[in-house]
Amino acid sequence: MTASTLDKQINNYLSQLNPKQKKAVLTVVKTFAEEHESLLDVPTFVDEMNRRSEELESGKIKGTTWEEVKKKQRTRLTRENRGLFNLFFIPRLRTST
C-alpha cells in the first residue's frame, strides 16, 4: 500500500471520528512521531558497554554464564519459597494438630 493511499484512508477515518476519538488518535500518533532514542544511539551507553567488554576480555572481571544465572535464581527462589511455606503453613499445621 502506498503512502498516498494510506493518507487517504487515514483522512477518511478521521472525518468519521468524534472529538474525543480524535484526541485519542492524536495521542497515539504523537507517540509514534516522538520516537525514543535507541540505547545504541546514546553515547554513554555505548561507552559503558565498550568498557565492560574490555574488562571481560582482559580478564579484569569474570563474567557469569546464563546457566549460572539461572541456577542462582532457582536456588534463591527455592529458598524464598521454603521460607514462605514456613511462614504461612507451618504455624497452621502446628495449631491444627
47-74: per-residue pLDDT in tens? 998 999 999 989 998 888 999 999 999 8
Residue type for 26, please? Answer: L
Cβ–Cβ < 8 Å for 46, 40: yes
Note whether 22 and 14 are within 8 A (CB).
Answer: yes
pTM of the prediction? 0.38
Q: What pLDDT is recorded for position 91?
A: 59
CA 58/CA 52 separation, integer angstroms: 10
